């Protein structure tokens, strides 16, 4: 017995819903995998370069810059917007790059998840 148009439409709708749900689950698992595999930079953080004057010359240094104070200071424990990273290629600098990259990936995945939910 051939299927009627209404049954075909319902099956098509269910198939598309299942595909969207599968994609949502895959993207959410990918976000969780990023969070579980490495530290992630706080939202709205970026790396800023600044020039410091030494005794004989100037040096470029880097810092992690947040929109609001979130980093504890070493001296008094208060919060600062900045976290010193040192020179390019230092371990702190490389770690910050990896954390910001992870944050960027998560934000892109979150935008895709939101588009699927709409």
Q: What is the pLDDT of residues 1-59, one digit of tens each?
A: 677 888 888 888 899 999 999 999 999 999 999 999 999 998 889 999 999 888 888 88
The mean predicted confidence, pLDDT, of the chain is: 91
Contacts 24+ apart (CB under 8 A), 23-32: 23/116, 24/113, 24/116, 24/117, 27/109, 27/112, 27/113, 27/116, 28/113, 30/109, 31/106, 31/109, 31/110, 31/113
pLDDT score for 92? 94
Range of the domain at 63: 5-117
Say how many C-beta atoms besides its own lie within 10 A of residue 114's C-beta.
9
CB 20 within 8 A of CB 116: yes
| Number of separate domains in the chain | 1
Tokens of 105: 């990936």
pLDDT score for 47? 94
């Amino acid at each position: 017995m051939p299927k009627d148009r209404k049954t075909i439409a319902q099956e098509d709708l269910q198939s598309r819903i299942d595909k969207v749900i599968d994609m949502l689950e895959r993207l959410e698992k990918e976000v969780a995998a990023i969070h579980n595999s490495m530290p992630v930079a706080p939202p709205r953080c970026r790396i800023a370069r600044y020039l410091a004057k030494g005794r004989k010359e100037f040096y470029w240094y880097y810092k992690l810059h947040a929109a609001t104070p979130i980093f504890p200071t070493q001296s008094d424990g208060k919060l600062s917007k900045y976290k010193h990273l040192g020179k390019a290629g230092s371990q702190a600098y490389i770690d910050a790059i990896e954390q910001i990259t992870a944050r960027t990936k998560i934000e892109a995945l979150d935008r895709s998840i939101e588009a699927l939910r709409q």
